[in-house]
Amino acid sequence: MRIEELIDGHCYHVFIRGVNRSDIFLNDADRERFSQDLYLFNDQDYYHRGDPLGKEAVLASHPVIGDSRRPFVKILAYCLLTTHFHMILEQCVENGISRFMHKLLMGYAKYFNTRYSRTGPLFERPFRAKPIGTAAHFEHLPRYVHLNALDVLGVPWRGETGVDWGKAWPALLDYPWSSHRFYSGFSQEMNIVDEAAVQEIFPDVLSDYENYIKSWNPMMLSSLHDFLLVTK
């Protein structure tokens, strides 16, 4: 049970990792399933009753029903890694982040344990949510969240030597398990990210996103040091 209150209309950096830092995504099929869950469970009216046909029907109709959904949160950015994931969320309704995360984590853990014949908890408890309260945090967080994918892709970006963008940029574009491609101008297969909210909150980021990403300097980590919830 969470102790701190999460406030409607406020943005949070949300993070959780596997228990004992174990892998929570073993392959792209797992990441695809989790991506679907990000979309499906962010709806107060969606209840998954174990019917795969019903789930597929919702996924197939998402371009039509998008405006009728009642989301718990606005997903502003996300990145799925191997042992953990990052999200930037804005809470829409009372206890929205907690309700969304409960459905998301319980649903995925049930899938994962069944698929891999395991028992016991998959995630650390509880998830962590840090309020985004300064201009520096808003400025750097989308960049930080998306660049985390380079850890999975084996491209250095945290050290003093800088980033080899000849390798990093195409690698990020080829990585479908984050919101980087949406920020780069590609359409979403599922409307996971709240596009209107991103355009409102991060207009300068979207207008020149490639230069925004490539202006990353590892020294920027110092402005986030006390804020970040995890290192790789």
pLDDT reported for residue 231? 44
Residue 218, pLDDT > 90, answer no
Please tell me whether residue 120 adopts helix, strand or coil conformation: coil
How much is the mean pLDDT over the chain?
A: 89
Q: Give the confidence band of 227 by pLDDT, cuts at 50, 70, 90.
A: low
When pLDDT is averaged across residues 133-143 and rounded to a whole number, the result is 86
- For residue 169, the enclosing domain spans 134-224
pLDDT reported for residue 133? 82
Cα 188 from Cα 210, distance rounded (Å): 18
Q: What is the pLDDT of residues 140-183, one digit of tens each?
A: 899 999 999 999 999 999 888 889 999 999 999 999 999 999 99
Provide Rg for the chain, Cα atoms.
17
Residue 198 CA from chain centroid, whole number: 13
Q: Is 231 a domain residue?
A: no
Do 111 and 181 fall into the same domain? no
Could you tell me if 42 and 72 are in contact, meaning their C-beta atoms sit under 8 angstroms apart?
A: yes
Q: What is the pLDDT of residues 79-115, one digit of tens each?
A: 999 999 999 999 999 999 999 999 999 999 999 999 9
Q: What is the pLDDT of residues 49-73, one digit of tens each?
A: 555 545 655 565 555 455 678 999 9
Q: Is 229 a domain residue?
A: no
Could you tell me if 38 and 104 are in contact, meaning their C-beta atoms sit under 8 angstroms apart?
A: yes
Most confident stretch, 64-78, 130-144, 176-190, 205-219: 176-190
Instruction: Please report how the helices 28-40 and 52-60 are oriented relative to each other, as an axis angle in degrees rounded to 10.
Output: 70
Q: Is 171 a domain residue?
A: yes
pLDDT reported for residue 139? 86
Tally of residues, the chain = 232
Residue closest to 129 by CA, chosen among 39, 4, 1, 220: 4
Do 18 and 118 fall into the same domain? yes
Do 156 and 79 fall into the same domain? no
Do 119 and 141 fall into the same domain? no
Pairing type for strands 84-91 and 73-80 reads: antiparallel
Cα 13 from Cα 141, distance rounded (Å): 8
Q: Given 101, 130, 159, which residue is the final one in a domain?
A: 130
H or E segment and range at residue 130 = strand 128-131
Q: 77 has which bridge partners?
A: 88
Higher pLDDT, 135 or 115: 115
The amino acid that residue 60 corresponds to is A
Q: Give the confidence band of 125 by pLDDT, cuts at 50, 70, 90.
A: confident
Do 70 and 115 fall into the same domain? yes
Do 145 and 190 fall into the same domain? yes
- Indicate the number of domains in the chain: 2
